[in-house]
Structure 1
């Protein structure tokens, strides 16, 4: 009679139920000798990528937009919003200038 192995746990939840730590998962690129480089931001960003670029949440970016305080938007179509990297940097520069006077002496 051949020995059969019990089925391997499928996720960390199964491991947690058994009391064992979840194994670390490796990301393997098929056909690549090196890991993929981190994602680079292009010239035009989606709202999600723009929020990541600004290190704020998607919700906060949407709130700023609705209040008219966010960075300049570019409309690709009437409903498709994108953000240019140069507009995001300019908006950050304005915030830095405005905030520099509000901080007071260090």
Structure 2
């Protein structure tokens, strides 16, 4: 089976290969595991990022909802929409504070 994986990775073309169902299943499972390793890490990191409500961000900056709307329009602090509600990434809020101080 290892030889089949090496053939696939090497990019050899124009050959016909006969494999047992067990070998094919092994190859498919290895491919799925490799794809999971590549895709799940960024997805897990994104899912674990804290989201702040509009109210929390307004209190943190001491601004009203119109100001937050203007910041979103001007790409200063862009909200993440979940349904009809707007949330803000903690990392974006921290970035704005670092770049511009408490009030952008």
Q: TM-score, normalised by structure 2?
A: 0.41
- Is the helix fraction higher in 1 or 2? 2
Q: Which has the larger radius of gyration?
A: 2
Structure number with the bigger relative contact order (C-alpha 8 A, sep ≥ 6) is 2
